[in-house]
Structures are given as C-alpha cells and as structure tokens.
Structure 1
Amino acid sequence: MLAIGVLIGLVVRAKPIQGIPTVMSTLIVRKIESSRDIQRFLQLPWALYQDDPQWSPPVLAEMRMRLNPKKNPYFEHAEAAMFLAERDGIPVGRITAQVCQLAQIHQQAGDGHFGFFECEDSQATADALFAAAADWLRQRGMKRMLGPFNLSINEEAGLLVDGFHRPPYVFMAHSLPRYQHNFDQAGFAKEVDLYAYLLEVEKAFPDRIERIIHSAARDPRIKLRTVNQRNLEAELHQVLSIFNEAWSNNWGHIPMTEAEVDDMAMMVRRLFGTDSVVLAEVGGEVAGFIVAIANLNELTADLDGRLFPLGWLKLLYRMKFGSCPSVRVPLMGIRPQYQSSRTGAAITFAMIDFCRQAYAPMQVKHCEMSWILETNSAMRGILEAAGSTLDKTYRIYSKPIV
C-alpha cells in the first residue's frame, strides 16, 4: 500500500509495491495558476488516454477559454481552483474545485463542486487530488463536494460509468473505466445518474408517434420554426426563459444567466448556425425549444486538439463543405403549462422530427439526446417511445467534507 499525507502543495512518498522496482518517488499536489502549468494541466489526458481508441482529444484553445475567468461568464458567479499532481516533476493527475454562488441559492447551500478529474492508475494519487479539492472547498465554508462538473452542470457533467464503446459527443465527458473504482474507494456515493440516449436518424418512428406528429402538423395553433438570425439574441433569451421555467424543479438545475446566453448566441453564430435552434409556437407564443448541434468531435478528432497553425482551416472547410454523421441534442424544454399534456407531447415529438427531417438529407446517421436525469421519467418515456435507446450513463457523486 502507499503511505499518503495530504496538504495543498503536498508531498507524498510512495513505499515500494511488490513487483515494482524499489525506487522511491515523490508525489506533489499543488494549486496552479501560471500559463505553463495550465498548459500541462490541459495536456495531461494525452498521456492517460493514448491507448483508448474512443477518446476524442479536446480542442485546447476552447478548454483554455473555458478555464479563463476573463472569458467564461461562469466566473461572474463562481470561483475555481486548479490542482496538478506531479510525480517526480511529471504530471500524473489533475482536478478542479469550484464554488458557484448560483448553486448556493438554487440548490443546496454548502455544496461545493469539483471536476476535470484525471489520474494515473494509483488510488493514492486519486485520494490526494480529492483531498486537495476538499481542503480548498472547506476553506470556503463548503460542507459537501459534488461532481464531477467541468465546470458547471450546464457544461460537461458526470463521470462515465457505462457506455465506453463509443467516443463522446460534443460537450460530453469521457472517462477511463477505472475512475469509478477510484471514486468508490475514496468514499464517494452516487448522487444521481445522467443518461445519454441514441436515436437512429434514418429509422422511422413507430406508427403511434407518427400519428401524433401528423396531428401536430394539422393543428393550426402549432408552428415550428428556426430562430431568426437577425434577432438571434432576443430569441435565445426566450429560450433562456423557457429553459429556466422548464428545468426549475429538476435536480441540480442552475439557471443560465444573460451573459451565458449571450455566450451561447455567439457560439451558435460561429459554429452551428441558427438552424440548430428550433422553436415551437402554440397560438403565437413560444412554448418549447430544441437545440440540435453537429457533433464537432467527429470533425476535430484528427486535429490532436490543435487549431493552429492549420487545424482551424481544416475545421472550417469540414463545417462548410463536409458532412458530420452525428448530431447531439443538448437542450430541450417545454413551458410548464404544456408539460404532462397532449399538446406538450405533440410539440416535443414534432420538434424531434423537425430536426430528424432536417439532418437526414445531410447523411446524419445518429443523434445523441443528452443528458437526461434518471428521475425524469416523462422525458425518458418520450425518447423511448420515439425509438431512442439508452446508450451511456454518467454519474454524479457526492461526499461530505469532514
């Protein structure tokens, strides 16, 4: 076994393990801030996932922006710290700890978050990383650690615990299978599972669902349309309103801020196009929305995380002239007054079909609907009735901070 002591900027000396040469090594876990250390933090997965054929290298420039308090609106209501584990000067693990003030208001006060967990095959290293995050959260009055969130529940959430057979879709996490053991051994308990469903785009809906869709198409009150490019910001703020209403009673929901919606609007303009956001109107009022985006991971997989010097040209060319065989639906919502109603079910199926009909001519084969709370039986029932199948499971863990 490994002897371990825990501090911020901690030194751990490993005892010899049977079968391993008896060379003492030193593990240090320290809080990082410099550009050089952040780069090493971001590049660590390349060493850990080199033998994982399903891993999709993240775009480093996007990750740097996400962790930059000056560029990510998340930091307007949150603070975070990054920790790097090094063994004899070589990065072997990482983690973040973060306190979101909106989570303190809208969820359980005293819950601190953690994320971006990656680790060598060592429980001692995992324990040291968890301890560093817990200590930072404790100093800020947190009573419990919850995660992983990279950085918030509205970004990459959960540890992949089932579904390692397929690369992650855009803005979804990927993990090594052994991480579940690290969490269990460290005393974390399951908080909730998040599901990813897979829809075969070319597969016809069951007859019953087709009848519901045709009924919605004949209803003069119901109209589906994409957002207006000239009025994108205002339309996306309607999406924000529906999102915050529709999800207000869901586990873990943290309302998106106006700055975060503005950031999403910029991303839609630059990367996905206004056709990716579909609104459903009932009697002239926006009653629901769905966001369906190209799975950019398929277009960036061979860029090795780098947009420069030529990666961005390849990506732009593929987005403009190529095809992407898969898409993801990261957001969908119905105003509360239409939930659990025939009209709500009709516009939900109609929005899914609208996206399916739009993407099928583009040779899109698969659509991931993610993520869905395991407790959201109504939405799970809709997706399963439409022919979607459960494809992946992500787990949120919690642990008291003592």
Structure 2
Amino acid sequence: MPSPTIRPISSKADRKKFVDLPFRLYKDDPNWVPPLKGEALGLITPEKNGWYSHAKAQLFLAEENGQVVGRISAHIDTLALTMPADKGFGPGVGQWGLMDAEREEVFTALLAAAEGWLRDQGMTRALGPISQSIWEEPGLLVEGYDHPPTIMMGHAKPEYKGWIERAGYQPVKTLQTYDLDVTKQFPPIVQRIVAMGEKNPRIRIREVDKSRFDEEAAIILAILNDAWSDNWGFVPLTPPEIADVGVKLKPIVFNDLIRIAELDGKPVAFMITLPDLNEAIKPLDGSLLPFGWAKLLLWLRKPKVTTMRVPLMGVVKELQSSRLASQLAFMMIEYIRRAAVARYGASRGEIGWVLDDNQGMNAIADAIDSHVNKVYVIYERAL
C-alpha cells in the first residue's frame, strides 16, 4: 500500500475535511458522540477561538487516492511555555492532538509531520494528545471504551494506545473520571460532615445567580486560578477564552447546579455541574439542521438527563489540605446531588477529570463511594 500524502492545511474547505473525518472513522462505534460540526470547526478556526490569542497551531491531513485517511494538530501555547517545567509544560514544550487515523502507518506519518513542525518552531519536547487547550480534551482514552463520554470529554479507538507507545512516547500523567450513583445517599460519615457544616454560622453554600453571569464567573475564575495554580498542566484562562466559555456553557448553566461556598462572607470554593449535553446532541449526528436546533432548544429549556458532569471544583489554596476544605466540598456535592435528582431526573454523576496523584480529590471521590470509570493518559517524548 502506498504511503499517505501528508500536507499542512489552512483553508476553510480543508478544515471542514478535518472535522468530517471522525464521522466516517467512528460511524460504527455506538459510544462515539458526534460533535456539532459548527462547534468543532470553531475550535480549529483562529478567529473563533480565544485560545489562539496566546497559541498557534498547524493542522495536517493525510490523504490516499483523494480520500482523507488521517488528521493531527501540532500546537504551541505561549502561556504554557512560561509555566514551571516541573508542572508539566515549560520552555520548549510543544503539543499535538486532534489525532485520528485509519491505520498505524498513517498515524506514524502524521505524528512525524507534527513533530517536525514543532522542531521547526524550536520545541524540544512533545506532549500529546491534548486537543488543543488543556481546558478542552486532554489525554488519550485508555480505559472505559464501553460507554459514551460526557460533555467535553474525549473518546478514542483502543488501538491508538499501542500506536503512540510504539512511536516512542511514555506516559507522563494519568487523568481519571469517577462514576457515581446520585440516587443513593452518601455514607453516614459524609452525611454527618454535611450536617455539622450546616450548623456552622461561618459557612454559607449558595447557588449562583445566572442573571449576574459575568460577576459570578469572575468569582469562580478567581478561586479557580488560585486553587489550581500548583496543579500539573495548569495554564491560566485568559479573557478571550473566558468569553468563549461563557458563550458555550451559558445555555447549560443552571443556578442550582453550580454552587459557591462562602466562609465569613468571602467566596472560598466552588463546584460546577453541567447536565450532560452529549445525551441531547448524540442523536443529531453533528448537525442542527433541519430540526436539530428545535430539539436542542426544547431540551435546554428544561433538561432531563441520566448523567450530570462535574468538570471543575476548587478550594482556595489557603484552605487546601484542611478539614474545612473537605467539608465544603461534601456540602456542595450533596446540595447539587439533591437538585440533580429531584429537578433533572439524574441517576448518575461523573466527576472529573482528576489527576491520579491529586490525593485530596481522590479521597473525596472515595468517600462518596464513586469509582473510576474512564482513564486518560497524556504522553511525552523528547524531540
């Protein structure tokens, strides 16, 4: 079989081919969730994605006999380059992601092209897959192929793991998601911790107010940037990205599913929970036409879902590793659990991603009887 032709792309027509490829490769995979094509195009279009305000990327397509048989993105985040080297990124670290290919030979050729572009940009180490921001879909799925991902989590073919490792890449960080039956009450010890917190006059757990969206987002962002600043892979969110997140997530923000914890009147922790939009978009096969938009709008008005996802939670650094931090977390989880079941019909929660060495979050997940349901791996290699 002849070697595939690998070429860099930049045109709108080629970006459309880039987005269309997974629809063919995964068409027989019942657990793949087709993204909305317009949104997928927006993520790889510099004018439509605030991440590009501090990053640059080169997309590549692999073709054989006029057909697209693979794709990959090579990218450099200039903010990531300024991060401490012991926290995952740092000087000389480039990334690749958005990888799909028909067979290993195609992947190997695509990876060589991505690595070549990164070397030409002065990079000395590659991390992947990260698609494309660390805040989007980091890591390769290596466990949990048997059920669909939740909103903003990735899916992949099982053979990709072997392809990446045979290309000389080593695992550098493991990320996990936790599955939880939210119809069950938490263990008695957690219930006691929540009850004690409710008696503490210094603590207030409040719902967000969507009518003050920008103000509430700023409070959460301030806690997030403080709480996560020492985490592996942390890159601060920038104003253009925050604006994008607001547009993307505002339709699925519900006051009772996002909580802010206050201590002595000061916001010190937050927890964001989102109804799993993937349940609504999976049947649309990537398109809002002709009637998909109406179905989605109807769903957004009062979503009923099986699954809720907790993508983010954080406690300010000064309280981390304290009993109070765990208490606030348990209280927010319990209040959101009640709302998720009573008002949205949820029966399942998914928490994550969580770094496998994040002892505090893993301890909380264990305490509420959740279990790991998906595992993602980020790989690295010297260039």
Normalised by the length of structure 2, the TM-score is: 0.96
- The answer to whether structure 1 residue 300 and structure 2 residue 291 are counterparts is no
Q: 2:13 aligns with which of 16, 36, 39?
A: 36
Please tell me whether the aligned partners of residues 196 and 372 of structure 1 are also in contact (alpha carbons under 8 angstroms): yes
1:393 is aligned to 375
1:17 is aligned to none
Q: Equivalents in 2 of 1:242, 1:103: separation in Å?
A: 20
Query: Which has the higher mean CA deviation after the structures are superposed, 362-371 or 315-324?
Result: 315-324
1:378-400 deviation per Cα after TM superposition (whole angstroms, max 9, x unaligned): 11011110111111100000111
The 1:155–1:311 alpha-carbon spacing in structure 2 relative to 1, beyond 3 Å, is: same
Q: Equivalents in 2 of 1:392, 1:93: separation in Å?
A: 25
RMSD: 1.2
Query: Which has the higher mean CA deviation after the structures are superposed, 267-276 or 167-176?
Result: 267-276
Please tell me whether the aligned partners of residues 251 and 300 of structure 2 are also in contact (alpha carbons under 8 angstroms): no
Q: Unpaired segments of 5 or more residues in structure 2?
A: 84-88
SS of 1:397 mapped into structure 2: strand
Please tell me whether the aligned partners of residues 268 and 274 of structure 1 are also in contact (alpha carbons under 8 angstroms): no
Q: 2:305 aligns with which of 324, 330, 342?
A: 324
- The answer to whether structure 1 residue 97 and structure 2 residue 74 are counterparts is yes
2:119 is aligned to 138
Q: 1:230 aligns with which of 203, 211, 225?
A: 211
2:270 is aligned to 289
1:135-172 deviation per Cα after TM superposition (whole angstroms, max 9, x unaligned): 11111110011011111111111000011111011000
Please tell me whether the aligned partners of residues 97 and 112 of structure 1 are also in contact (alpha carbons under 8 angstroms): yes
Give the aligned residue type for 1:118.
Answer: D
Q: Equivalents in 1 of 2:80, 2:337: separation in Å?
A: 35
The 1:340–1:183 alpha-carbon spacing in structure 2 relative to 1, beyond 3 Å, is: same
- The answer to whether structure 1 residue 333 and structure 2 residue 307 are counterparts is no
Q: Equivalents in 2 of 1:167, 1:146: separation in Å?
A: 25
1:357-398 deviation per Cα after TM superposition (whole angstroms, max 9, x unaligned): 111112101111010001101110111101111111000001
Q: 2:55 aligns with which of 62, 72, 78?
A: 78
Q: Equivalents in 2 of 1:297, 1:227: separation in Å?
A: 23
1:36-75 equivalences in 2 (<5 Å): 36-75=13-52
Aligned pairs, number: 377
Post-superposition shift, 1:309?
2.7
1:22-59 deviation per Cα after TM superposition (whole angstroms, max 9, x unaligned): xxx35101111112111111011122112211111111
Please tell me whether the aligned partners of residues 169 and 379 of structure 2 are also in contact (alpha carbons under 8 angstroms): yes
Q: Equivalents in 2 of 1:354, 1:81: separation in Å?
A: 44
Please tell me whether the aligned partners of residues 140 and 154 of structure 2 are also in contact (alpha carbons under 8 angstroms): yes
Q: Equivalents in 1 of 2:219, 2:373: separation in Å?
A: 31
- The answer to whether structure 1 residue 108 and structure 2 residue 85 are counterparts is no
Post-superposition shift, 1:176?
0.3
Q: Equivalents in 2 of 1:270, 1:85: separation in Å?
A: 36
Give the aligned residue type for 2:231.
Answer: N
- The answer to whether structure 1 residue 357 and structure 2 residue 334 are counterparts is no
The 1:321–1:341 alpha-carbon spacing in structure 2 relative to 1, beyond 3 Å, is: closer
Q: Unpaired segments of 5 or more residues in structure 1?
A: 1-13, 15-24
The 1:47–1:267 alpha-carbon spacing in structure 2 relative to 1, beyond 3 Å, is: closer
Moved over 4 A (4+): none
Q: Which has the larger radius of gyration?
A: 1
Post-superposition shift, 1:83?
0.5
- The answer to whether structure 1 residue 178 and structure 2 residue 152 are counterparts is no
Normalised by the length of structure 1, the TM-score is: 0.91
SS of 2:184 mapped into structure 1: coil
